């Protein structure tokens, strides 16, 4: 078959041939121009060259066969329809060449207007415009400027300078004061600039102008900024852009012409009304370029009532048709309105909720659709307090916005001081070089955390995000001196007790107090703001959509909570139980001494004594939590971290011992501790003696915890409450481990529970890859699985989280090895596959096996959708993320497969 016999692949679509569902092929702009055309709205005629043509061009470096001919044919039909020819010296057709990809993308070539003008047709254009020479030369100079800049990469400033020069010569600051002669002169200056930078004259042949512009749009897909933007937004690199060729209409024909942009509702608040800007006697790009002062769109009513009424009418039709907020670009040519663009408009998080609610009221969408139109990231944004930056506050330093929110408070440098001051009712900001697990109490007490080291994945960042606490990390201009209780920044010294403000969204650090507005949405979730009484459209909309999400979702949402206070908060936020209660904090603080006794025990009796002393303390902790969660399940994880984490660090002990010896004090205990620390040292603590392994090695440890849980449950139940404990064994890799623990635990439970009616489940975490792969066996011994996806990710990838995030994740992200850290959003293909296998094989072995996930992924929107799709029963996340998980679980349930949530 010769290429002539090949039926040409269709690369060009007339506006009348397309529709809004063809965004992949025609790009967003092209698809929507086609949609408006078919709605009968006044769109200048034109055609769209497909993204496939762009892909073919980028693959081969030349236009695909058949493209040139199709462009020719569509151009001819456009010329026939307009009764003008491109480049006709007496009555030229002019066109615009506009890029338009599926997703709007800064960094790509924008638009060239007035293509088709040259030294001869500029005269014809003036004649056709009733002798309006000013208009014709203004259009021509714009063409050379835009063409030079976007097609030939001539530096835009050179044209700007020449324009400024012309205005200066005329003694004006407005381009409106330039007359035809000025503009003719400017065209001459622009041509010289063009020649200087490109080595050739400005192309006079209209068809060459058109072809070069189209090719430049294709190539702009791979411009550096576009590539960067795609990577950031995770837009696939192979989509390509479409090119729209549109007959020109002119807003620069005089005072009865103009151009403008409009929104059908306020994109900031969602309020109904007319929002937009209008500029008389101007071409499109002037409005956004801010060259002249625009007037509010309402003023158009006075200037041109007919066009204004028509525009309002069209806006209402578009909203009804798209069933959403639309943004619009239009031009008026001598009193005739033309629509040049529309799309579903971007909006703030608050507006997204408000508009979704309004559209339901207006009967345009149903609640499922409203739920689909908002997302967890938006909800999370609305839950953070914000700075009111009306006054001029200058940041003194900038770090990483590690955990969003806005916090002001007195600077403290130690966890202890943070707790002390917070107890006195002070707001404090904990400032450290970096944080470690010992800072936990201080972090809980503080309003915010500021560190000079570490990024988005440092300890401070991760823990703060988990707590929903504001954190700026890695503000490296700050020099922290903890012993001296001060830090220096930008030549200033900040002492303990001085006030700073940190913005965890932007990473900015301010000296002094910046006023903060609390989140109304949080007040609503906490129950202090009644949505029916609030006169706040946002709170009402959030309430309504959350209610629907809760009704729609299949996944239950639990919270990770270790204390009664956390549990109470989680419950207010809608948690349906606790999915992870860590018991390690129950070994901290003043209980460390007992833990030391446990570790140092030389005889069974000494060990048993230490455990017996810990038992009532743990039992009280559990009683508090079970009471708060009355009637709801509480999954308690038996102790997980290596025991040496509870001992002082080696260096500190060594110094203590040396100092005490020097003074001639009795150092027997310190020496014993030091020896224990040395003995227990591990090269890879993450893979060492922890989790179930501890339980199997240290007699009585798990037994004590199991007894404390069972006794607490019995006590709460006897007091008239209802406790539903689920004991979770961490780090199991083989069913035999679980069986051993379970046999011992069941004996204790039977003994404690007696006839109290309390039921205690025993299950396991699935966080070691081997456990996922032998889930069928493990399910025989487990009453539930809870996926510990943090460890599963660490062990699945072989990443030591604390090391890798700082060391090379940036490079992996840059190379696109992953689009997002697998600790933030679950890696579906690898770690997710382990989850899927374990879920399937576990359920095959034990039908109805209860499946959940605990860990940060439980509050991550994308991961929640994944957990929904593999059929888990619940997700568990930090209390602050519970509403986000509820919303996303609802969205997952109503979303049709393959729908696009971008
Ligand atoms: P962007 O994607 O940057 O908005 P556009 O392709 O929409 O770029 O074009 C920028 C401006 O040029 C638009 O605001 C529009 O008003 C104007 N414009 C584009 N095509 C035409 C045309 N055929 N006639 C008149 N103005 C146009
Ligand atoms: Mg536009
Ligand atoms: Mg774990």
pLDDT digits (tens, 9 = 90+) for 503-521: 998 899 999 999 888 889 9
The pLDDT tens digits of the residues spanning 2-12 come to 444 456 799 99
The pLDDT tens digits of the residues spanning 238-276 come to 999 999 999 999 998 989 999 999 999 988 888 888 888
d(CA 481, CA 125): 72
Identify whether the C-beta of residue 39 lies closer than 8 Å to the C-beta of residue 317.
Answer: yes
Nearest residue (CA) to ligand 1, atom 16: 284
Catalytic residue list: 459, 854
Residue 220, ligand 1, Cβ within 6 A: no
- The answer for residues whose C-beta is within 8 angstroms of residue 252's C-beta and 6 or more apart is 135, 138, 139, 281, 282, 283
Model pLDDT, residue 223: 87
Nearest residue (CA) to ligand 1, atom 26: 284
Residue 691, ligand 1, Cβ within 6 A: no
Nearest residue (CA) to ligand 1, atom 3: 110
Model pLDDT, residue 57: 97
Model pLDDT, residue 900: 40
Atom of ligand 1 nearest to the CA of 247: 23
Residue 98, ligand 1, Cβ within 6 A: yes
The highest-confidence range among 295-299, 402-406, 895-899, by mean pLDDT, is: 295-299
Strand 85-86 to 92-93 pairing: parallel
Model pLDDT, residue 290: 58
Average pLDDT on 642-668 reads: 87
Rounded percentage of the chain residues whose pLDDT exceeds 70 = 96
Model pLDDT, residue 13: 98
Pocket test for ligand 1, best of 106, 331, 343 (most atoms within 8 A of CB): 331
Q: What is the number of the ligand closest to the CA of 250?
A: 1
Whole-number Å distance, alpha carbon 171 to ligand 1 midpoint, is: 30
Pocket test for ligand 1, best of 42, 48, 96 (most atoms within 8 A of CB): 96
Residue 259, ligand 1, Cβ within 6 A: yes
Residue 103, ligand 1, Cβ within 6 A: no
Q: What is the pTM of this model?
A: 0.82
pLDDT at residue 438 above 90? no
The pLDDT tens digits of the residues spanning 864-892 come to 999 999 999 999 999 989 999 999 999 99
The pLDDT tens digits of the residues spanning 365-409 come to 999 999 999 999 899 989 988 888 766 788 999 998 888 889 999
Average pLDDT on 706-727 reads: 97
d(CA 436, CA 442): 11
Model pLDDT, residue 3: 46
Q: Which of 318-322, 518-522, 691-695, 840-844 has the lowest mean pLDDT?
A: 518-522
Q: What is the number of the ligand closest to the CA of 99?
A: 1
Residue 277, ligand 1, Cβ within 6 A: no
Model pLDDT, residue 517: 84
Pocket test for ligand 1, best of 81, 82, 109, 113 (most atoms within 8 A of CB): 113
Model pLDDT, residue 62: 95
Q: DSSP secondary structure string, 409-461? A: EEEE-SHHHHHHHHHTT--EEEEESS--GGGHHHHHH-SEEEESS--TTSHHH
The residues whose Cβ lies within 5 A of ligand 2, an ion, are 329, 341
Whole-number Å distance, alpha carbon 328 to ligand 2 midpoint, is: 8
pLDDT at residue 166 above 50? yes
Residue 284: pLDDT band with limits 50, 70, 90? confident
pLDDT at residue 901 above 50? no
Average pLDDT on 29-33 reads: 97
pLDDT at residue 285 above 90? no
Q: Which of 207-211, 457-461, 567-571 has the lowest mean pLDDT?
A: 457-461
Whole-number Å distance, alpha carbon 86 to ligand 1 midpoint, is: 19
Model pLDDT, residue 391: 67
Alpha helices in 147-296 (DSSP H): 156-170, 180-198, 206-220, 224-233, 285-289
Whole-number Å distance, alpha carbon 112 to ligand 2 midpoint, is: 12
Q: DSSP secondary structure string, 629-670? A: TTTSEEEEEPP-S-GGGGSPPHHHHHHHHHHHHHTT---HHH
Residue 248, ligand 1, Cβ within 6 A: yes
Pocket test for ligand 1, best of 48, 99, 216, 284 (most atoms within 8 A of CB): 284
Strand 633-637 to 578-582 pairing: parallel
Which long-range contacts link 829-833 to residues 24+ away (Cβ below 8 Å)? 830/796, 830/797, 831/789, 831/792, 831/793, 831/796, 831/797, 832/866, 832/870
């Amino acid at each position: 078959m010769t290429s002539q016999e090949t039926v040409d692949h269709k690369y060009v679509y007339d506006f009348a041939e397309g529709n809004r569902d063809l965004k992949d092929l025609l790009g967003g702009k092209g698809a929507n121009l086609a949609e408006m055309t078919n709605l009968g709205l006044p769109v200048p005629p034109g055609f769209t060259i497909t993204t496939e043509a762009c892909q073919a061009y980028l693959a081969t470096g030349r236009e695909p066969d058949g493209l040139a001919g199709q462009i020719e044919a569509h151009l001819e039909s456009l010329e026939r329809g307009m009764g003008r020819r491109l480049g006709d010296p007496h009555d030229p057709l002019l066109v615009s060449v506009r890029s338009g990809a599926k997703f709007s993308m800064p960094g790509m070539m924008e638009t060239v207007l007035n293509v088709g003008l040259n030294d001869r047709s500029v005269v014809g254009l003036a004649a056709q415009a009733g002798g309006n020479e000013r208009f014709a030369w203004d259009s021509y100079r714009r063409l050379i400027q835009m063409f030079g800049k976007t097609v030939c990469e001539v530096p835009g400033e050179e044209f700007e300078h020449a324009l400024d020069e012309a205005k200066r010569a005329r003694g004006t600051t407005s381009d409106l004061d330039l007359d035809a002669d000025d503009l003719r002169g400017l065209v001459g200056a622009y041509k010289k600039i063009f020649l200087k930078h490109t080595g050739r004259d400005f192309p006079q042949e209209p068809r060459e102008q058109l072809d070069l512009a189209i090719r430049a749009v294709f190539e702009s897909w791979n411009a550096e900024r576009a590539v960067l933007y795609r990577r950031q937004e995770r837009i696939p690199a192979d989509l390509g852009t479409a090119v729209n060729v549109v007959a020109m209409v002119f807003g620069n024909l005089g005072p009865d012409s103009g151009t403008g942009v409009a929104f059908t509702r306020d994109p900031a608040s969602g309020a109904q009304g007319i929002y937009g800007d209008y500029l008389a006697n101007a071409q499109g790009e002037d409005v956004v370029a801010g060259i002249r002062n625009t007037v509010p769109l309402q003023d158009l009513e006075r200037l041109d009532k007919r066009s204004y009424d028509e525009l309002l009418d069209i806006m209402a039709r578009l909203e009804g048709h798209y069933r959403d907020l639309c943004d619009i670009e239009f031009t008026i040519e001598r009193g005739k309105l033309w629509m040049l663009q529309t799309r579903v408009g971007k909006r703030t998080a608050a507006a997204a909720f408000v508009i979704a609610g309004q559209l339901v009221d207006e009967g345009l969408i149903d609640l499922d659709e409203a739920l689909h139109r908002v997302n967890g990231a938006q909800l999370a944004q609305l839950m953070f307090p914000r700075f009111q930056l009306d006054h001029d506050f200058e940041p003194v330093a900038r770090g990483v916005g590690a955990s969003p929110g806005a916090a002001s408070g007195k600077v403290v440098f130690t966890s202890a001081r943070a707790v002390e001051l917070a107890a006195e009712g002070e707001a404090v900001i904990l400032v450290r070089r970096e944080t470690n697990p010992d800072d936990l109490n201080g972090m809980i007490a503080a309003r915010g955390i500021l560190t000079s080291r570490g990024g988005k994945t440092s300890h401070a960042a991760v823990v703060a995000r988990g707590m929903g606490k504001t954190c700026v990390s890695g503000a490296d201009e700050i020099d922290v001196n903890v012993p001296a209780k001060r830090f220096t920044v930008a030549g200033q010294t900040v002492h303990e007790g001085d006030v700073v403000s940190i913005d965890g969204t932007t990473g900015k650090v301010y000296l002094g107090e910046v006023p903060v507005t609390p989140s109304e949405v949080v007040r609503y979730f906490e129950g202090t703001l009644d949505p029916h009484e609030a006169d706040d459209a946002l709170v009402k909309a959030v309430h309504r959509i959350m209610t629907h999400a809760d009704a729609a979702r299949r996944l239950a949402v639990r919270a990770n909570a270790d204390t009664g206070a956390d549990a109470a908060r989680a419950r207010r936020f809608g948690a349906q139980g606790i999915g992870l209660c860590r018991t390690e904090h129950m070994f901290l603080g003043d209980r460390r001494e007992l833990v030391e006794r446990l570790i140092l025990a030389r005889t069974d009796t000494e060990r048993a004594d230490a455990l017996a002393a810990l038992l009532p303390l743990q039992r009280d902790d559990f009683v508090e939590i079970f009471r708060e969660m009355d009637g709801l399940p509480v999954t308690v994880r038996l102790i997980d971290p290596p025991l040496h984490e509870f001992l002082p660090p080696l260096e500190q002990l060594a110094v203590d011992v040396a100092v005490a010896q020097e003074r001639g004090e009795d150092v027997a205990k310190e020496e014993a501790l030091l020896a224990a620390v040395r003995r227990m040292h591990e090269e890879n603590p993450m893979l060492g003696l922890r989790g179930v392994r501890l339980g199997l090695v240290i007699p009585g440890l798990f037994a004590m915890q199991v007894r404390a849980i069972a006794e607490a449950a019995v006590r709460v139940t006897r007091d008239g409450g209802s406790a539903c404990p689920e004991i979770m064994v961490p780090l199991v890799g083989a069913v035999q481990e679980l069986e051993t623990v379970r046999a011992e635990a069941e004996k204790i439970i039977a003994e404690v529970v007696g006839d109290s009616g309390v039921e205690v489940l025993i299950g396991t975490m699935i966080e070691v890859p081997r456990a996922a792969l032998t889930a069928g066996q493990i399910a025989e011994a487990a009453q539930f699985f809870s996926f510990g996806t943090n460890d599963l990710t660490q062990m699945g990838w072989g990443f030591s989280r604390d090391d890798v995030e700082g060391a090379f994740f940036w490079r992996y992200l840059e190379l696109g090895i992953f689009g997002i850290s697998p600790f933030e959003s679950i890696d579906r293909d690898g770690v997710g596959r382990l989850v899927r296998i374990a879920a399937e094989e576990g359920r095959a072995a034990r039908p109805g096996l209860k499946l959940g996930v605990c860990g940060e992924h439980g509050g991550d929107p994308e991961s929640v959708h994944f957990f929904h799709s593999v059929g888990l029963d619940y997700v568990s996340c930090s209390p602050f993320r519970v509403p986000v998980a509820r919303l996303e679980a609802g969205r997952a349930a109503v979303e049709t497969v393959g729908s696009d949530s971008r």
